[in-house]
A and B are shown apart, each in its own frame.
Chain A
Amino acid sequence: MYKQLLAKLIIAIVCFYGFGDYSYAGDELNCVLCHKFRGLSRIDKDGKFRLFYINQELFDSGPHRRNKCKDCHTDINKIPHDPAKKVDCTQECHMVEPSSTEKFSHKSVAKVLSKSVHSPVDKNGKEKKFKEDYPGCKDCHDQPFYRPFSIYKGQLKAGVSKRGISRCKSCHTRGDFAEDFYEHVTTRLRKSRFPMETIEACAKCHQDKAFQERHDLDDVVTTYKQTFHGKMIALGSERTPDCLDCHVVEGENTHLIEAQDVPTSAVYKTNVQATCRTEECHSKASAKLAGFQTHVTYDREKYPLQFYMLVGFKALMAFVLYFFLLLIFLELLRRLFPGFSFFKEKNNNSGDN
């Protein structure tokens, strides 16, 4: 009897502490009890696959790790819970924004986005056509990761430097403050995404043919990939500009992308030079550098000059290549059959004899 009670007590303590310590600091409701299983999923009424699994390791690798599940999923108050509502990224979470006494929220980002070309409403507050096409937070962002780096004795290295962080930890000893701060700041010192990932995020909409037709847009992603910049990024360069580098004015919030015909836009005809000649890019280049059409779309009706240039260039290439290939082929044929001729000359010698 006592043995059984003792065993129960031990198991209860182990389980309690096991879960208590293992779940995230922010997982007050022990959501991972179920959400740690990769198979927690279903197909919804529209036939979409819904996966409810949370990869704890990856969740802990980004800035949201300090958030409690309930900070975003505010409507979940009990376990088991009802289907969760869509998360509103502009709501306030438990953290206090360090430069003020206000609670943290992404409201400021939403405000900037509302001024951009990606806002579903225009300057006058009127809804744009096909408003469902305009992106929400999740259309461009999935759960972010930290991309920390370190510089030690002049050498830049990806990841958290033990030497670097040891200096922080000599004063900031409690909890994970030093790690959080270090990863947050170093991630922000460079681009938070690899260029190809940014391009893929934009491509979700901008490479969609139906989307292009609805908004009368060119296939800017495909044409970008054909450029030198696009090819460098495809080869793994992180120093080459992606969409945001050219479409956001230097020093502006990355969410403020404006249409080409807006005078304050980074790609407005009089601003392109400044965009190309920023300190990090072609600072010493002539202003003429920006004189070319970056996204060349070969559409016969829209851009006839470019279209016929392409046709002419292809024709020239084809003519030169296939003319010389034919020449080589015929030459080889002659080597194979040196005496062959369609029109053989009559042999007059036999008559003479």
Chain B
Amino acid sequence: MVKFIKKVIFKLYVIFLMGFTVWYGYFMYPLIFGFEGKEKAEASLMELGKAGTDKERMFVKLIAEKEQTKKTDLGYRVIDQPYIEGRFHNIGISVEPDNGSICVRCHGNVPHDHSKEIRSFLNMHAFYLGCESCHIMPGKDAPAWEFRWYKKSTGEVTDNPVALVEIEDSYKTAESMRKYPMYGNYGAKIAPGKIKNGTFTFLHDKNDMAFVNRYIVEQDHLGPEQKSQMKRVIHDSVSKKPLQCDRCHQKKSPYLPFAKLGYPLRRVSELTDTSVVGMIRKYKEFYIPNFLTPGGIKD
């Protein structure tokens, strides 16, 4: 019996060594002959880039540069930041993807493009405001929305960002002013919702997300009319006219309850009374008469 077991162990050992020999030959192949697959993939990308139109080339480049970062070693600190071709100023921070928004799934992080003069400002707001905040209004006689922060990573309700308080703290002393608070990148966004039976729910919940995700997966199997139908259904709650800037940036009754959402008093005042409103006024009065009508100015 012992002899038999020894024999089996020996055979298994030999089989293992044979397997290792084959694997080693396979492993060494690219080290001797180069990583052919990688070179081929690069060549095919290059070919695609060369053969195609400017748009195709840009798409190929986007795929190749996806999430490209740039490292800078200062000796006492390494800065790893996103890379954007042709950009001079350092960015420093990456932006957390918004997994909680159904709109971002198709429209992306930088969705505003129509109002040429203010599109950058609108995109800036899209970093901490869910699309629904400005693009879905309550009905005429319906009660006002409730607003909460949702976590970008999960889409779930979260507490008011601590960063808002940290920003405030940075104004307190000369020493704290040397710190650099992060504006607008809170890992969370404000979105509207309703309170049902004492529980808050966002206008777009997990079911809506599942619905949109399914549409994205299945859209190639739909006919052109069906696609139009689906788009209509998905966008049916979107208001024709988006929320105007001065609905929030005003002192009397701002549309967003800033204080309730965790904005400290000084910041609320800044947003509703002094610098920001002042700038909007400048835009409105001296620069772009239509500043307060997003969507009204075309390229």
What is B's interface to A at a CB cutoff of 8 Å? 10-11, 14-15, 17-18, 21-22, 24-25, 28, 32-33, 46, 49-50, 55, 58, 70-77, 79, 84-93, 95, 109-110, 112-113, 117, 119-121, 123-128, 170-171, 174, 177, 180, 182-185, 265-266, 269-270, 273-276, 279, 282-283, 287-288, 299
A157 vs B171: C-alpha distance when bound (angstroms): 33
A34 vs B278: C-alpha distance when bound (angstroms): 13
Contact yes or no, A143 B88, CB < 8 A: yes
Contact yes or no, A314 B33, CB < 8 A: yes
Q: A61 contacts which chain B residues (CB < 8 A)? A: 74
Q: B269 contacts which chain A residues (CB < 8 A)? A: 11, 15
Contact yes or no, A33 B182, CB < 8 A: no
Q: B28 contacts which chain A residues (CB < 8 A)? A: 321
Contact yes or no, A328 B50, CB < 8 A: no
Verify if A80 is at the interface (C-beta below 8 Å from B). Answer: yes
Binding-face segment, A265-273, A329-337, A339-347: A329-337
Complex partner residue of A39 from B50, B55, B124, B273, CB under 8 angstroms: B124
Known: A33-B279, A42-B119. A317 touches B75 (CB 8 A): no
Contact yes or no, B76 A34, CB < 8 A: no
Q: A209 contacts which chain B residues (CB < 8 A)? A: 46
A306 vs B180: C-alpha distance when bound (angstroms): 55
A157 vs B76: C-alpha distance when bound (angstroms): 8
What is the minimal beta-carbon distance from A245 to any residue of chain B, in angstroms? 17
Q: B117 contacts which chain A residues (CB < 8 A)? A: 80
Known: A51-B84, A197-B71. A40 touches B123 (CB 8 A): yes
Contact yes or no, B89 A142, CB < 8 A: yes
Residues of A29-51 at the interface with B, using a CB-CB cut-off of 8 Å, are 30, 33-34, 36-43, 45, 47-51
Closest partner residue, chain A, to B184 (CB atom): A37
Closest partner residue, chain A, to B186 (CB atom): A38
What are 20 contact pairs spanning A and B, CB under 8 A?
A14-B266, A15-B266, A15-B269, A15-B274, A19-B275, A37-B124, A40-B123, A47-B55, A48-B85, A51-B84, A51-B87, A55-B90, A58-B92, A142-B90, A143-B90, A200-B70, A318-B33, A321-B25, A332-B14, A335-B10
Q: A210 contacts which chain B residues (CB < 8 A)? A: 46, 49-50
Q: B265 contacts which chain A residues (CB < 8 A)? A: 11
Verify if A279 is at the interface (C-beta below 8 Å from B). Answer: no
What is the minimal beta-carbon distance from B49 to any residue of chain A, in angstroms? 8
Complex partner residue of A55 from B49, B92, B288, CB under 8 angstroms: B92
Contact yes or no, A18 B171, CB < 8 A: yes
Given contacts A80-B282, A145-B72, A328-B17, 12 further A-B contacts (CB under 8 A): A12-B274, A22-B177, A38-B183, A41-B123, A45-B299, A52-B120, A56-B180, A58-B91, A138-B86, A158-B76, A197-B71, A210-B49
Q: Mark A127-143, 1 if CB is under 8 A from B, else 0.
A: 00000000000100111
Contact yes or no, B72 A11, CB < 8 A: no
Known: A55-B93, A158-B74, A314-B32. A40 touches B18 (CB 8 A): no
Contact yes or no, A332 B18, CB < 8 A: yes
Contact yes or no, B121 A58, CB < 8 A: no
A12 vs B266: C-alpha distance when bound (angstroms): 9
Residues of A53-88 at the interface with B, using a CB-CB cut-off of 8 Å, are 53-61, 78-80, 87
A332 vs B17: C-alpha distance when bound (angstroms): 8
Complex partner residue of B18 from A18, A49, A60, A329, CB under 8 angstroms: A329
Contact yes or no, A57 B180, CB < 8 A: yes
Q: Determine which residue in A21, A41, A141, A209 has the highest number of CB atoms from chain B within 10 A of its CB, and name it.
A: A41
Contact yes or no, B120 A40, CB < 8 A: yes
Verify if A312 is at the interface (C-beta below 8 Å from B). Answer: no
A51 vs B274: C-alpha distance when bound (angstroms): 26
Closest partner residue, chain B, to A333 (CB atom): B18
Contact yes or no, A158 B75, CB < 8 A: yes
Complex partner residue of B182 from A11, A38, A51, A159, CB under 8 angstroms: A38
Closest partner residue, chain B, to A53 (CB atom): B91
